[in-house]
Amino acid sequence: MTKTSDFVFVLIEEFSHLAFSCALEPLRIANLVGGREFYRWHLASNDGRRATCSNGAVTLVDRGLTPTPRDARVMVVSGMNVHNHVTPELLNFLRAERVKGTSIAAICSGAFILAEAGFLTGHRAAIHWEYHDVFAERFPLVKLMTSVFVADEKFVTAAGGAAVADLMLHTIAREHGSDLAAEVADQMVYNAVREGSATQRVSIRSRYGVRNSRLGHAIRLIEENIESPLSNSQLSSRVVVSTRQLERMFERYLTTSPRRYTLHLRLHRARNLLVQSEQEITEVAMACGFTSVSHFSKVYRDHFGNTPGQQRSILY
């Protein structure tokens, strides 16, 4: 008979309730439909009593950051403001578990914590798309992927939300067969199970409801060059259309201009960095293609109604 596998879910303050449910429920359902205890689980937190998720719900736990049972797997579950919840106690716990040979995974924004612990340098990792900008700035030596999960590295990571369900179904299939995984997916009424290589965000065609391949190419180029924005002439040259044709495409499909669309993306990336990191405002401006902090502050205020400094002060 196959040995029961143990998971220890380490719940970080402001963790994602959705990601946690998508991790735990497939294990419970696997036990239910399989008619035996394939999996057991324990819940841990920094204080060993409870953890509060991002929607305000409180989850009671049964252990603190103490050594895990033999052969248990640790899964770090985090969410909002992850950089505020990386404690020395948490890092010491994870490093001790790594030395012990424990399998360690992370979901939603959890890759941030594993990177802080020094685990992910040179490895591929997945994190929720909302944290991509700040993660890439802080951990340039990690091979950040846009895929929903990465399961074939030493440290398993998943993006969050439904991506965690994909990871858990992948795990169940690998360990107990695709038939059991399919039954679990059916119980979850989940009929769009994705492989790890699937991308997190919907395609440009789906996002904007357009089929123009040249527009899609232009948008990808804009997204890939946030730090050094392309001019209209550079963009049109790479897409192989005239500048006027480029402007007409953006106006027709997106009711905006290439310049305004580019600025919109740069400012939203700046807001992500201001909210999710402790980078100086000057560093944020430079990372988003602004060479002047005063200009950055002006256009940021015009767009969002407050300055970068005011945006950051809202958090504290």
DSSP code, position 1: -
* CATH number (domain holding residue 180): 3.40.50.880
CA distance 152 to 174: 12
CA angle 91, 95, 96 (to 5 degrees): 115
pLDDT at 196: 60
Say yes or no: 254 and 154 in one domain: no
pLDDT at 213: 81
Spell 84-93 as b/e; 16+ CB within 10 A means b.
ebeeeebbeb
- Give alpha helix (H) positions in 212-276: 213-224, 232-239, 243-254, 258-276
Q: DSSP E strands: which ranges in 127-215?
A: 143-145, 149-150, 156-158
pLDDT at 277: 76
Q: How many domains does the structure of the chain reveal?
A: 2
Say yes or no: 89 and 152 in one domain: yes
In DSSP terms, 104 is beta-bridged to 74
Q: Are 222 and 238 in contact (CB under 8 A)?
A: no
User: Domain boundary residue among 187, 217, 236?
Assistant: 187
Number of residues that make up the chain: 316
Say yes or no: 145 and 210 in one domain: no
Say yes or no: 145 and 31 in one domain: yes
pLDDT at 220: 86
Query: Cα-flanking dihedrals φ and ψ of residue 43, to 5°?
Result: -115, 135
> Domain span at residue 218?
204-313
Q: Tokens representing 225?
A: 């060059």
Q: Are 253 and 246 in contact (CB under 8 A)?
A: no
In whole angstroms, how far apart are CA 284 and each of 65, 265, 277? 34, 14, 9
DSSP code, position 251: H
pLDDT at 10: 98
pLDDT digits (tens, 9 = 90+) for 122-135: 999 999 888 888 89
Q: Are 153 and 124 in contact (CB under 8 A)?
A: yes
CA distance 187 to 189: 5
* CATH number (domain holding residue 267): 1.10.10.60
pLDDT at 276: 72
pLDDT at 207: 57
With a cut of 50, list the residues of the chain below it in pLDDT.
316
pLDDT at 52: 97
Say yes or no: 180 and 249 in one domain: no
Say yes or no: 237 and 139 in one domain: no
Say yes or no: 164 and 63 in one domain: yes
pTM for the whole structure: 0.72
